[in-house]
Chain A
Amino acid sequence: DTEVTQTPKHLVMGMTNKKSLKCEQHMGHRAMYWYKQKAKKPPELMFVYSYEKLSINESVPSRFSPECPNSSLLNLHLHALQPEDSALYLCASSHDGSSTDTQYFGPGTRLTVL
């Protein structure tokens, strides 16, 4: 199974809402990633978890809060977002986080902030 799943597929939220994005993989990978992708732009790395520990935080605003409950799951908690945070949020996983790993991307959550 080389699939990364993400829920929900679409999310519309107001600036005062709290919501969470979820990601799951069952490939035994020990690294998981959150990316943000705006239209016609490349994926932009937000966070990396390696062996369930946060190893990279690309200076992401605190209104985005990642969580890795176990090696198969990755969450992104959202609070007090801004309209400019509207984007496709992609989760990915890889073997152990080395830059030579293949990254497997999920289908993404398309987020709209009103």
Chain B
Amino acid sequence: GQQVMQIPQYQHVQEGEDFTTYCNSSTTLSNIQWYKQRPGGHPVFLIQLVKSGEVKKQKRLTFQFGEAKKNSSLHITATQTTDVGTYFCAGGRGAQKLVFGQGTRLTINP
């Protein structure tokens, strides 16, 4: 079945450093979504990418969707303590469900 791999599993950074998480699918995706889950919280939608090669920005967050629509990345510039949490990518293939990556857990040293 469809798999969505996400790396790294964990990332610890100093506050102010950049952070990137990568997502790769075994099959072409119709779209990819990114969610953030704070410790003890629930997943919260961040963004959706649909077009090949698409790049979207939200303040310090930059999201990319690969040309082949099989990979994606989330880059955070100058991390802040409020960025702590687990970031999940989730791929869609036109069916009624999203397939979640394993998540990247970000911790930050203030």
Q: Spell out A's residues near B (CB within 8 Å).
A: 31, 40-45, 48, 50, 55-56, 90, 97-100, 102-108
CB distance from B43 to the nearest CB of A (A): 5
Nearest residue (CB) in A for B42 is A105
Q: Which of B41, B95, B101 contacts A107 (CB 8 A)?
A: B41
Selected A-B contacts with CB under 8 Å, 8 pairs: A42-B103, A48-B97, A97-B96, A98-B96, A99-B92, A105-B42, A105-B43, A107-B41
- Dominant SS at the A interface? loop
Interface flag for B48 (CB, 8 Å) = yes
Place the interface of chain B in its size category.
20 to 34
Interface flag for B102 (CB, 8 Å) = yes
Q: Considering the chains assembled together, what is the distance between the CA atoms of A53 and B8 in angstroms?
A: 38
Contact flag A103-B98 (CB < 8 Å), given A40-B105, A42-B103: yes
Please, which residues of chain B bring their CB within 8 A of the CB of A105?
A: 42-44
Q: Considering the chains assembled together, what is the distance between the CA atoms of A97 and B103 in angstroms?
A: 23
CB distance from A105 to the nearest CB of B (A): 4
